Amino acid sequence: MLDIKKIRNDFPILSREVNNKPLIYFDNAATSQKPISVINSLTEFYSKYNSNVHRGVHTLSMESTDLFEEARNRVAKFINSKNSESIIWTRNSTEGINLVSNSWGRKNIQPGDEILVTAMEHHSNLVPWQILADINKAKLVILPINNDGTLNLDEIDTFINSKTKIVSAVHMSNSLGTINPIQELCSKAHKVGAKFMLDGAQSVPHIPTDVADIDCDFLVFSGHKMLGPTGIGVLYVKPEILEEMDPFLTGGEMVLEVSYEKAKWNELPMKFEAGTPNIADAIALGEAIVYLENIGMQNIRNHEIELTEYALSKFKSLDKLTLFGPLDPLIRGGILSFHSEDIHPHDIGTFLDHEGIAIRTGHHCTMPLIRSLNIPATSRASFYIYNTKDEIDYFINTLGNAIRYFTDVK
């Protein structure tokens, strides 16, 4: 059992009030809050170590470089990457996917090839592949979902075939909460000679992630969803693939030698990190990983299973709401998306905000998915390590008040 009270004390923002009510933060799928250790690491870097990394021979530069690369090593260990050279710093998951689609995709996807994604993908894992398919005259294939929000795998061997060159799938849906069978998808991709890209933006912060066990070729995730700062993300690539990829961005730092006529690329991972990197936020992400590891990723997952199971049971008391996604908390993350035929999601979100509850409303950057559900948008509550059953009780009670308020008005 986690000591949630102790954990909550590590997050300064959780002590504030919103509209004269204690803040209940249920928007973790959009971004997480930050513990004081992460906040302090940013202040400490700029106060004590601030200098550009690599090549500098003075003390501050060498200290900054050591901290920067130590953070990379922490990331590698966190996802069980065999070496840190497979870890590329990006701004976020979106940039990582774009890097792969441009650097690997434009070189390897040929006319007539197929790119497979699922029907529940975030725009970040859909639009780059749409563009690549259009430019390289390939075909984008959509793997459908069942009514319960799980992937429809009835004809998976038809969808993943000899024409498939890459399968790019979300691990945990940011709209449905669905946890997908990624190892099965990865295995089937490899059997036909295709690569497998995993979007771990929602899963890596919540579920133990082992790239060696999954055997994925690419993995992306974002620091700001896992207690770290905004503006820092990670792309993992198997080293043998990374060696063959061309740089996505060019300029300083990613070069080893330059003449007026040509340039020679730097060693991995700097080959893919042009310009001055986001040093402070990379270091702070390393501190976020230390915090998560001290709690234990399996402990975090167990806590969220308990919260999700509790919330699903409480939702049964609410009338006139449709809840999307699987009802089994073992194949669902702590994400609850729901819709009312009588109340617009923005009205629900505003009502809850007046009571200090932060949720997300809209299509959650999964517009094709939301449209396939024949609704304009959903309201979404999402949990993390600092959330409690008491908060869920207050949320459910307030949501019931919102339903009564708006339906009575009508």
List residues with catalytic annotation. Answer: 365
3-state secondary structure of 175: coil
Alpha-carbon gap, residue 166 to 138, rounded angstroms:
11
Asked if 305 and 247 count as a contact pair (C-beta separation under 8 A), the reply is no
Asked if 337 and 323 count as a contact pair (C-beta separation under 8 A), the reply is yes
User: Count of CB atoms within 10 A of residue 278's CB?
Assistant: 21
Tokens of 44: 């400490």
Q: Is the dihedral of CA 227, 331, 303, 338 positive or negative?
A: positive
- Give the rounded distance of the alpha carbon of 386 from its chain centre: 18
Q: What are phi and psi of 332, to 5 degrees?
A: -140, 140
Which of 174, 201, 199, 196 has the alpha carbon at shortest distance from 186? 196
Which amino acid would we find at residue 241?
A: I
Counts for the chain of helices (H) and strands (E), in that order: 15, 17
Alpha-carbon gap, residue 339 to 350, rounded angstroms:
15
Asked if 25 and 14 count as a contact pair (C-beta separation under 8 A), the reply is yes
- Give the rounded distance of the alpha carbon of 162 from its chain centre: 29
Q: Is the dihedral of CA 54, 265, 222, 331 positive or negative?
A: negative
- Parallel, antiparallel, or unpaired: how do β-strands 87-90 and 233-237 relate? antiparallel
Alpha-carbon gap, residue 162 to 154, rounded angstroms:
18
Which of 1, 6, 36, 8 has the alpha carbon at shortest distance from 386? 8
Alpha-carbon gap, residue 258 to 265, rounded angstroms:
9
| Residues facing 258 on adjacent strands | 263
Strands (E), 102-203: 114-118, 139-143, 164-170, 195-199
